[in-house]
Amino acid sequence: MIKTDLLTSHITHLECAVSKKKFSHLEIQTFSASDEEGWKSPLYAKYGSLKNIDITVLKDRVSSLWRYFEFLPVLNPENVVSLGEGMTPVIKLENLGKQLEIPNLFLKDESLNPTGSFKARGQAVAVSKMKELGINRCIVPTAGNAGGALAAYCAKANIDVTVVMPRHTPEIFKLECQYFGAELILVDGLISDCGKVVAEMRSKGDYFDVSTMKEPYRLEGKKTMGFEIAEQMNWELPDVIFYPTGGGTGLIGIWKAFHEMKEAGWITGKFPKMIAVQTANCQPIVWSFEGKHESSAGYRAKASVANGLAVPFPFAEKQIFQVLKESEGYAISVSEEELMVGTKSLAKNEGLFVAPEGGALLPAMIKAIENKWISADDKILLLNTGSAYKYAENFK
């Protein structure tokens, strides 16, 4: 349970990621439609007086992402909708570390979140803010996990939810939405095609759109992974983080968290290199990184067994790219075969049944060491985003 006395959010406003134009956090907001170049851009929650937040506040806090309440956007603790998300373990990969001669190899296991993925973090905070702002009907396009997580938190918060999902998604992703009481719409195509259906439905009805990065608060939930990485690793950040990138919320969020903790004086020193991992079937960020296209607008993607990576046109593409640049990181893709080899290797060697998105990190890490982008002596963290159980019908 959350102890609700003395909890105060330090949020001051929202800000356009590009133009820095300010928006009120006291009203319902989506994204910024009017940045300098006429692009649509995400809004970032901004916090003040971070230096006044003493690190010792964590001592008495709940073991969930709500322990970082000052850095979260919910004003009244009574609006928190929680299923126990966050504070997932950081596990040392001892067997693989020995085999690959990487003495400091760790994995943060997000599969243990409610509904089996880190999407729970984003949706817990987004739904809590919906409750706070009086929103009672929402809609989301999803590759699978975001829809299930949103449906679960909406069930708890008594908010009507419509989930729009590719028809080819494994059955359990659909079933959980229905059990949670969501309206489920199946679409032939990828999440981008689901996005079109969402736009059409919003033109006819009054739905709040919880699409990745078009709503400001899922990012705030996902950034708590950055806080936990720091706290669980004794406030000494890893040298490198491998992150399976679809819409990029986690990547951008973790980077945001590092800056906020630095401002609060909770961490010092160099931030990790952030490495975005994608599948060869859908690698728009890798192509941008390698200069193969200007933007993902015309990118042609295929479906992936790692459905969370099948995001052809990430809304926050420019912001993802910026994190890679600022962190001196990289973008790298692996084949569908390679990501399943990684999934099997983590299972057999470490007893971890990770989502194929997480499985992709292992071959990506091996390539990054071969390319000399990173060293086997680096402290390396793989961020496994989900559980294999939901995907298993596609496994051989």
Ligand X SMILES: *Cc1c(COP(=O)(O)O)cnc(C)c1O
Interface positions with ligand X (CB under 6 A): 117, 119, 145-146, 212, 244-250, 308, 355, 357, 385-386
Q: Encoding tokens for residue 175?
A: 């079933």
9 or 212, CB closer to ligand X? 212
Shortest Å, Cβ 272 to ligand X = 16
Q: How far apart (Å, rounded) are the C-alpha atoms in residues 320 and 275?
A: 10
9 or 145, CB closer to ligand X? 145
CB 248 within 8 A of CB 277: no
Parallel, antiparallel or unpaired: strands 330-334 and 273-279: parallel
In the block, tokens 């975001």 appear at 146
Shortest Å, Cβ 375 to ligand X = 26
CB 165 within 8 A of CB 193: no
User: Closest residue (Cβ) to ligand X?
Assistant: 308
42 or 77, CB closer to ligand X? 42
Shortest Å, Cβ 361 to ligand X = 10
Shortest Å, Cβ 396 to ligand X = 19
Shortest Å, Cβ 306 to ligand X = 7
7 or 125, CB closer to ligand X? 125
- How far, rounded to the nearest angstrom, does the alpha carbon of residue 382 sit from its chain's CA centroid? 14
Q: Encoding tokens for residue 191?
A: 């999440």
355 or 382, CB closer to ligand X? 355
218 or 273, CB closer to ligand X? 218
Shortest Å, Cβ 284 to ligand X = 12
Q: How far apart (Å, rounded) are the C-alpha atoms in residues 189 and 166?
A: 6
Q: Which are the contacts of 29, defined by CB distance < 8 A and separation ≥ 6?
A: 14, 23, 43, 216
**Complete DSSP assignment for 269-337:** SPPPEEEEEEETTB-HHHHHHTTS-SSGGG------SSGGG--SS-TTHHHHHHHHHHTT-EEEEE-HH
